[in-house]
Structure 1
Amino acid sequence: MTDNPTPPFLPAVVDRATWTAEREALLVREKAHTRAGDEIAAARRRLPMVEVDAGAPLVGPSGPVTLLDAFEGRDQLIAYFHMWHTGHPAAEQCAGCTFCASQVRELSYLHSRGATYAILCQGPYEQSARYRDFMGYDVPWYSAQESAETLLAGRGPFLLAFYVRHGDRVFETYATNGRGVEAMTPTYSLLDMTAFGRQEEWEDMPEDRSQGWTPDGGQIVDGRPTAQWARLRGGHSDDLGT
């Protein structure tokens, strides 16, 4: 007996043997899920590809470049199409894109496999680059304002696209949007393993399990993307020149 019982919104308390038995039963399902994911990845590698304009115009820190240039000489390019609200301040830029883009930082592992990662922003370079600097992103950042409509091909509003090049030709091999871009967000993978999950209203939660967050899952705090607050506290200006 204890004078400090656990509240009803927490998981049931059991002995280690009981916990281990239930954990091992769940592990069987987890392994099946992993194998199913491997099979889907194998099917993804067998998709056909579609040629895109290698000369699609982009703007980078040194001025006009092309989609082919964004490969940085590697064979593959992973590109995230970042939404943009032209003329709006940093606080009103896309919280979802900020949530995703802020979690992809260390690129050396991708580079070691011949893959380049870049953000292709759908807004003008000068203004959007100010946002990149405000957020502290150090990954390649380009404006795809002129070519976004062609490259997105009616998809979006945001997109994670995968390209391969053969000489001076570029092909799109895979693309995903919606929850598919969660591949960029280890935050979600970690929260999915916790007792309280993502704290979003759509989740299947045990009865009485506390959910203290709004439907956006904590991507916005006090009216602006959550990741922006640390930058403001660090003294960084969110003036985008608007």
Structure 2
Amino acid sequence: MDRSDYPPVASREAWRQARLALLTKEKAFTAARDRLNAERRSLPMVAVQEDYRFQGPQGEVRLLDLFDGRHQLLIYHYMFHRDRGEGCPGCSYVVDNMGNQAHLHARGTTLVMVSRAPLAELEVFKRRMGWTIPWYSSFDSRFNYDFHVTLDESVLPVEYNYRDKAELQRLGLDYHLEGEQPGLSVFVRDGEQVFHSYSTYGRGLDLLDGTSNYLDLTPFGRLEGWDGMPDLNGEGKFWVKLHDQYGQAPVAAHDCCVAQSTS
């Protein structure tokens, strides 16, 4: 790392004064975050009327079945690249950060992944990655289209992160105009009735990236070359790899699951 990437050196007292000033801002941010979380919890719900079907290890299942008897359901919309036979490095980075599910289960919440690819292809990659999180196929369903994580203008008008095609193009986000996209959707059930309460995309997925949150505490940050951070590979793009590819020959920077500030 170049010396210019390091913060300035100060005395312990000067550091303490700077740290206390930052702490005041951190406390204000925490209070604002708590208020935002409360607003998120109070969003109205939409009843899910469509009979979405998925393929899982035990065969065909309904959206209701994905709850596994619990009252809340988190679905991570995972981008799977069938042409490469593997998942998006950015989405894989998110999944690698998903912890022990017992803590969610104890609070009546289930977390699963859903991808628009045949289940057999997903399971091969799941074994390669060593993941245990439940993963379902929506390959024969409209589910991905309706939740704007598979974009095909011939099926539905383009919309990603609540932006239409014209706005995405104006912002230079052409990689969000077609194909598979990342996201997270939240559902709750009342008996047999399922409701959709929340979906987030783009930078909204930062909350799921434990590794990135750890890196945000460090002087070099995420090493992605934006917002004043050093750039690890000189590309100014999301550089993460599949976890079994570190130490191998460099791979090209990719736009899938882009985590830059413009998203």
> Same fold by TM-score, threshold 0.5 exceeded?
yes
Contact 2:74 2:184 in 1 (8 A): yes
Aligned match of 2:147: 152
Aligned match of 2:124: 130
Find the residue that maps to 2:47 and give its secondary structure: strand
Query: What is the rounded CA distance, in whole Å, between the counterparts of 2:69 and 2:51 in structure 1?
Result: 15
Query: What is the rounded CA distance, in whole Å, between the counterparts of 2:18 and 2:196 in structure 1?
Result: 43
TM-score relative to the length of structure 2: 0.76
Aligned match of 1:89: 85
Query: What is the rounded CA distance, in whole Å, between the counterparts of 2:231 and 2:11 in structure 1?
Result: 26
1:217 aligned to which of 235, 238, 242: 238
Query: What is the rounded CA distance, in whole Å, between the counterparts of 1:128 and 1:8 in structure 2?
Result: 44
1:108 aligned to which of 93, 98, 102: 102
> Number of residue pairs matched?
216
Q: 1:145 to 1:66 in 2, by over 3 A?
A: same
TM-score relative to the length of structure 1: 0.82
Q: 1:81 to 1:44 in 2, by over 3 A?
A: same
**Is 2:189 aligned against 1:165?**
yes
Q: Which amino acid in 1 is paired with 2:231?
A: Q
The list of structure 1 runs, each at least 4 consecutive aligned residues, that deviate by more than 4 angstroms after superposition, is 153-156
Contact 1:164 1:173 in 2 (8 A): yes
Q: 1:76 to 1:200 in 2, by over 3 A?
A: same
**How far is 1:132 from its partner?**
1.0
Query: What is the rounded CA distance, in whole Å, between the counterparts of 2:131 and 2:189 in structure 1?
Result: 26
Aligned match of 2:228: 204
**How far is 1:83 from its partner?**
1.4
Aligned match of 1:3: none
Higher relative contact order (CA 8 A, sep 6+): 1
Note the aligned Cα RMSD (angstroms).
Answer: 2.2
**Is 2:245 aligned against 1:229?**
yes
The answer for unaligned runs of 5 or more in structure 2 is 149-158, 162-180, 249-263
Aligned match of 2:135: 141
Larger Rg: 1
**How far is 1:54 from its partner?**
6.7
The answer for unaligned runs of 5 or more in structure 1 is 1-5, 220-224, 233-242
**How far is 1:46 from its partner?**
1.1
After superposition, the C-alpha distances for 1:23-60 in whole angstroms (9 at most, x for unaligned) are 01000001111111111101111110111147410111
Contact 2:225 2:232 in 1 (8 A): no
Q: Which amino acid in 1 is paired with 2:137?
A: S
Q: Which amino acid in 2 is paired with 1:15?
A: S
